[in-house]
């Protein structure tokens, strides 16, 4: 195990442990991955304003959102197939989040079912797709309510799956074939630790939330075939309105990048919006999440809560997102990498690193509480304008000692 000092160290540790097709599934994006890179690079263009001689002996990282208090404005975002990264991975990650006083969002396409995760970790958030089979939709909402799910994240930026070249090359995606099976078998053969942890001891290898519909005892390809047949490209604002009528708890719309869409969502009564491009995994060549955030914040004001995912790799990024209008960030890849590398302990450690980085950034910008974060923490209007307009220019580089 390499020395772990930050989130990107966990990325390398995950790369060393996972079969290639699973690592590329976590790590990759759509098409040429320009938006995937922009999610990270655009954070580097936002400059924090350092302040000195401020009494920062007491810092408050806590937040209150959707009627609950959390230790800091961070949640674990939904990632599909997490149970293939580590044995019963969703349950492990949810326990780490709960111990840290943070929310955990379970994906519809999780390995562990909502029943298994809530039994292991208590109340969670649930990420939800509207599918053609509306009976499944109604049953899934009922299951979530029965398990005490506290908030529903309705994901709307996947009308059709994005084209992900890495998944095609690695054997993660594509039609079943002997060549594809061979690529995956070869990738697993060189990762014996993963084979023992997940391949042997991580069963059942299913998508637990779909099991009642697809059936038990079938292979994973049968689940993906069901997803391919049932993901509904005809979902509209009317479906959101209907969901708002049926779901009594907090309803969060995930996958918004356009201010007009944000305004319309608020008009339909959503409790929160996740500014997100699906981690750069859907439409390549669009805005990064942090570039889209300021205009959406300006459009909706305080009429709803704003969350953000995509590109957050540190507590510094977290503070920048808060300064530009977010109420909370959701960690997707950071959670997946740390889970793959070290399981529940890895997720707990990663969250501790992010929290320490956040507190250091708050102290050096003179921000005493996360609720007070605003644009006064950033350097000038030029940096803000660059982010809002999505201007691509090189991030600041440190001078070498030779210079």
The residues spanned by each domain of the chain are: 7-388
What's the pTM?
0.92
Is residue 130 classed as helix, strand or coil in its secondary structure?
coil
The two tokens of residue 278 are 């699906």
Omega before 198 cis (within 30°)? Answer: no
Task: Please write the tens of the pLDDT for every residue from 126-170.
Answer: 999 998 988 889 999 999 999 999 999 999 999 888 899 998 898
- Helices (H), ranges, 18-83: 20-27, 34-45
**Mean pLDDT of all residues belonging to the chain:** 92
CA–CA distance, 105 with 151 (Å, rounded to integer): 9
How would residue 390 be classed by pLDDT, with cut points 50, 70 and 90?
Answer: low
4 contacts 349 by C-beta, under 8 angstroms: yes
Answer yes or no: is pLDDT of 391 > 90. no
CA–CA distance, 240 with 203 (Å, rounded to integer): 35
The label of the residue with tokens 């995950």 reads 14
Q: Which segments within 226-374 are labelled E, that is strand?
A: 251-256, 272-275, 305-309, 328-331
Task: Please write the tens of the pLDDT for every residue from 173-204.
Answer: 877 888 888 999 999 999 999 999 999 999 99
Count CA atoms closer than 13 A to 75's CA, side-chain side. Answer: 30
Strand pairing class (251-256; 74-76)? unpaired
pLDDT at 389: 57
CA–CA distance, 7 with 351 (Å, rounded to integer): 9
Count CA atoms closer than 13 A to 83's CA, side-chain side. Answer: 25
How would residue 330 be classed by pLDDT, with cut points 50, 70 and 90?
Answer: very high
How would residue 227 be classed by pLDDT, with cut points 50, 70 and 90?
Answer: confident
CA–CA distance, 100 with 371 (Å, rounded to integer): 19
Q: Which segments within 129-170 are labelled E, that is strand?
A: 151-155
The H-or-E segment that residue 359 falls in is helix 333-365
CATH class of the domain defined by 7-388: alpha beta
How many Cβ atoms are within 10 Å of 226's Cβ, its own excluded? Answer: 19
pLDDT at 216: 66
CA angle 293, 263, 241 (to 5 degrees): 120
Q: Under 8 Å CB-to-CB from 242, ≥6 apart: which residues?
A: none
CA–CA distance, 353 with 26 (Å, rounded to integer): 21
CA–CA distance, 10 with 335 (Å, rounded to integer): 9
Q: What is the sign, positive or negative, of the torsion defined by CA atoms of 352, 354, 360, 362? A: negative
Task: Please write the tens of the pLDDT for every residue from 352-362.
Answer: 999 999 999 99
How would residue 32 be classed by pLDDT, with cut points 50, 70 and 90?
Answer: very high
Task: Please write the tens of the pLDDT for every residue from 95-121.
Answer: 999 999 999 999 999 999 999 999 999
Least confident of 30-39, 43-52, 216-225, 352-361: 216-225
279 contacts 256 by C-beta, under 8 angstroms: no
Catalytic residue flag (residue 349): no
Partners of 274 in the β-ladder? 254, 307
Count CA atoms closer than 13 A to 93's CA, side-chain side. Answer: 38
Answer yes or no: is pLDDT of 217 > 90. no
Partners of 151 in the β-ladder? 125
What's phi and psi for 86, nearest 5 deg? -150, 155
* DSSP annotation of 344: H
CA angle 200, 206, 212 (to 5 degrees): 140
363 contacts 313 by C-beta, under 8 angstroms: no
Q: Could you give the percent of the chain with pLDDT greater than 90?
A: 79
Mean pLDDT of 11-25: 96
From the candidates 205, 278, 349, 376, which is the catalytic residue?
278
């Amino acid at each position: 195990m390499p020395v772990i000092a930050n989130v990107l160290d966990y990325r390398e540790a995950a790369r060393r442990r996972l079969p290639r097709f699973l690592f590329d599934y976590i790590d990759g994006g759509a098409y040429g991955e320009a938006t995937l890179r922009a999610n990270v690079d655009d954070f580097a263009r936002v400059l924090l304003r350092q302040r000195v001689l401020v009494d920062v002996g007491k810092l408050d990282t806590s937040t209150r959102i959707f009627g609950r208090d959390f230790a800091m404005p961070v949640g674990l975002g939904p990632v599909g197939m997490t149970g293939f990264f580590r044995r019963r991975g969703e349950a492990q990650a949810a326990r780490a989040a709960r111990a840290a006083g943070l929310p955990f969002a379970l994906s519809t396409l999780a390995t562990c079912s909502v029943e298994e995760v809530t039994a292991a970790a208590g109340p969670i958030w649930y990420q939800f797709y509207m599918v053609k089979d509306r009976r499944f939709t109604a049953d899934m909402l009922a299951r979530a309510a029965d398990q005490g799910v506290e908030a529903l994240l309705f994901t709307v930026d996947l009308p059709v799956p994005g084209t992900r070249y890495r998944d095609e090359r690695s054997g993660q995606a594509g039609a079943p074939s002997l060549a594809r099976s061979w690529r995956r078998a070869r990738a697993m053969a060189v990762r014996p630790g993963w084979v023992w942890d997940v391949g042997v001891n991580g069963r059942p290898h299913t998508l637990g939330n779909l099991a009642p519909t697809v059936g038990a005892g079938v292979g994973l390809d049968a689940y993906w075939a069901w997803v391919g047949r049932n993901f509904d490209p005809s979902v509209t604002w009317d479906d959101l309105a209907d969901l708002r009528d049926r779901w009594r708890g907090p309803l969060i719309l995930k996958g918004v990048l356009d201010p007009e869409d944000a305004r319309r969502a608020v008009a339909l009564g959503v409790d929160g919006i996740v500014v997100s491009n699906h981690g750069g995994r859907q439409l390549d060549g669009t805005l990064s999440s942090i570039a889209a955030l300021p205009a959406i914040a300006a459009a909706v004001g305080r009429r709803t809560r704003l969350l953000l995912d995509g590109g957050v790799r540190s507590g510094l990024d977290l503070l920048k997102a808060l300064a530009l209008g977010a109420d909370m960030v959701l960690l997707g890849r950071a959670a997946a990498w740390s889970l793959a590398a070290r399981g529940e302990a890895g997720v707990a450690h990663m969250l501790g690193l992010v929290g320490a980085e956040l507190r250091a950034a708050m102290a050096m910008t003179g921000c005493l509480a996360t609720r007070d974060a605003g644009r006064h923490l950033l350097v000038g209007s030029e940096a803000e304008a660059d982010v809002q307009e999505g201007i691509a220019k090189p991030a600041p580089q440190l001078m070498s000692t030779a210079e």
